[in-house]
Amino acid sequence: MLPTSASNSVLSKPDYSDVPRGNTQKNVNREVLRMVLERTGLAPTSKVLDTSCGDGEFLTALRRYWPAASLTGCDIKPTPPAVAGLRYEQVDLTQPFDLTDNGQPFDLITSISGVMMFGNTRSFIESCVRQLRPGGVLLVTNDNVLAVRDRLSYLFLGRVRRFKLLFNHDEAITQFVQQQELKRLLERNGVELQEVVYTSFYTEDLLFLPFALLVFPFQWFYLRRLRNHTGHALRQQLFGFRSLLGRHYIFLGRKQGNSTL
């Protein structure tokens, strides 16, 4: 039985099987919900902002388990999604924005399949971090353009799978944001990247498994030798074997207490 009133705990065994896919790759909303409930350590009374929230599929799923949470959503469209108790604002996320309520920062900010659809990623991350409390969590997901399938596509066609060589003026997905750049933006804004998860594995991508097995030893050796402040455990989360086949990745970052934003 789902909770129907304010509670300090979530269901002991959440059912992720019926989490709707929404406007993203398969299993992304499901995995983000799992990480929020099981990995963030946040209270079910948290203040949550879901940027580029679309039709509210993720927020609807979250509301089932966090009925007492304060939910805010924003997107470019004027019509709010049908989510119980949602505070909604129409926002252009390419520009600086502030959706805090009377200056109260958020505990959790999510961006699910958003950064590939609007420009000015630096400004977007800065705005998110500015509205996040110290110790709060920023969850950002994006399409993986470094999978073996994308690398082969670039080798033969000069393009990765999700991005055409030519865009129409009204094209929706145009922003090429790689993992290392998103990691850099988080760190520059005082957010520690704590966990990276790859998801959206398709049976058809098993055709590329032989290529992944060929590439991975070289990639692993390169990462081991690369001089960088990033620890080896996080390097393997970022560019481990799953990164060669998963179509989507999720970053879980936590705002550090000494961040000036």
Tens digits of per-residue pLDDT, 152-188?
A: 999 999 999 889 999 998 888 899 999 999 999 999 9
**Burial of 50: CB neighbours in 10 Å, binned 0-12, 13-18, 19+:** buried
Give the residue-averaged pLDDT of 198-213. Answer: 98
pLDDT of 248 higher than 50? yes
State pTM to two decimals. Answer: 0.93
pLDDT of 260 higher than 60? no
33 is written with which tokens? 């919900």
pLDDT of 261 higher than 80? no
Q: Say which DSSP state 96 is in.
A: -
Beta strands in 45-105 (DSSP E): 47-51, 70-75, 87-90
The CA-based dihedral angle spanning residues 27, 242, 125, 260, taken in that order and rounded to the nearest 10 degrees: 120
Alpha helices in the chain (DSSP H): 28-39, 57-65, 121-130, 148-157, 179-188, 209-225, 232-239
**For the chain, which domains are there?**
28-255 (3.40.50.150)
pLDDT value, residue 172? 85
pLDDT value, residue 259? 63
How far apart are alpha carbons 185 and 178 in whole angstroms? Answer: 11
For 83-97, give one letter per residue: b (16+ CB within 10 A) or e.
beebebeebebeeeb
pLDDT band of residue 100 (cuts 50, 70, 90) is very high
In sequence order, the 6+-apart residues with CB closer than 8 A to the CB of 179 are 142, 144, 146, 196, 238, 239, 243, 249
Average pLDDT, the chain: 94
pLDDT value, residue 4? 40
